[in-house]
Amino acid sequence: MPLASSEEGLRDKDCDFAIVAAMAAVHIGANGRADLVRLALSGVDSVPVRLHESESILEGSEPTDALIDAAGAAVADAVNPMDDIHAPAQYRRDMAQLLVTRAASKAVGQARGGSA
């Protein structure tokens, strides 16, 4: 099966600026387990962040909804957002968790042959 990817973003309504953006890439092996997982965020630190801990939750396992949710929850400790004129830090953190969960879920669905 090919590598599947998905992007999710939250944009400022007044411009084309992404407040928070998430990317997920997943490959599901013939055994139904995720043998490659890459997750990243922008807008939650001074540079884009790769989410190694969240990746490790999914990699090597059959990615269930519960594991995808756990990977999303792990994002809170991996990011260091700042308050600015576009969004407060806690809002960015909350949206990061949501967007990683959505992007990972879509990528897993696509990797399994769906059109998620």
Block means of pLDDT (10 residues each) for the chain, 116 residues, are: 87 79 96 96 92 97 97 93 90 95 96 76
What's the confidence (pLDDT) of residue 115?
60
Number of neighbours of residue 73 by Cβ within 10 angstroms: 14
Tokens for 30, please give them. Answer: 């013939």
Domain boundaries, the chain: 4-111
What are the start-end ranges of the E strands in the chain?
4-11, 18-28, 34-42, 49-50
4-111: CATH number:
3.30.390.50
3-state secondary structure of 24: strand
Distances in Å between the alpha carbon of 65 and those of 27, 58, 103, 106? Answer: 16, 10, 12, 11
Q: Which pTM was predicted? A: 0.92
Secondary structure tally for the chain: helices H, strands E: 3, 4
